[in-house]
Amino acid sequence: MSYLVLELDFLPRFIINTIFIIVLIRGCYYQHSRNRPYAVSFMLFGTGVFMVTHLLHSADISMGFAFGLFAVFSMLRYRTESITIKEMTYLFLVISITLLTAVGPIGLLGISIINSIICIFAYVLETYFLLPLTQEKIIKYEKLENIKPENKSDLIEDLEQRTGLDIKYLNIDSIDFSNGTAKIRIRHKCHHRPK
């Protein structure tokens, strides 16, 4: 009887998990990063975590233990590869959605609402509606008199005139007095998503 209940509970939760993982990864992550290998990995990881966690749930495993177990597994897997903060965040969201759906103590409607909030929030943050879209460039600069702190406005004005960019932030990474150049990292506003 308990096996039948487990089977009846499994399918709707699996469908909800699959839908929200696809929405998160295809609709938010892949749409803006176009990184297919990570997108496929996230979807497979979410499916695998759901299967194992849902089966372990019948063995009275706690939510905290399940989350910790798969967080450790994910860190062990991805520690050998240089993974960006963005990919790490999406991996965390995939694990969160999957564990909530697999062993969450709330009903299917509550799970769907929480998963929807996560996906909507991720989508809004991926657009430049809340946070302006910027891009970073490194420039070699030869007018060393402008790199003095009191000449910062002159430096920004000169760089904007030369590059035609709307500079929001700059940082002087290094100065080479022998060559008479400085390496400057600028962050500028852009109107289209960098490729």
DSSP string, the chain: -HHHHHHHHHHHHHHHHHHHHHIIIIIIIIHHH--HHHHHHHHHHHHHHHHHHHHHHTTT--HHHHHHHHHHHHHHHHTTS---HHHHHHHHHHHHHHHHHHH-SS-HHHHHHHHHHHHHHHHHHHTTTTS--EEEEEEEE--GGGGSGGGHHHHHHHHHHHH--EEEEEEEEEEETTTTEEEEEEEEE-SS---
pLDDT in tens, 130-160: 666 677 888 898 888 888 888 888 888 888 8
pLDDT at 37 over 80: yes
Provide the phi-psi class of 83: left if phi over 0, else alpha when psi is between -120 and 50, else beta: beta
C-beta separation of 70 from 49 below 8 A: yes
Mean pLDDT across 44-73: 70
135 phi and psi angles, rounded to 5 deg: -135, 150
**Lowest-confidence range among 4-13, 68-77, 173-182?**
68-77
Name the more confident of 182 and 57: 182
C-beta separation of 171 from 156 below 8 A: no
The model's pTM is: 0.63
Mean pLDDT across 45-65: 72
Name the more confident of 108 and 5: 108
pLDDT in tens, 153-194: 888 888 889 888 888 888 888 888 888 888 998 888 775 554
Residue 184's nearest CA partner among 168, 175, 173, 192 is 173
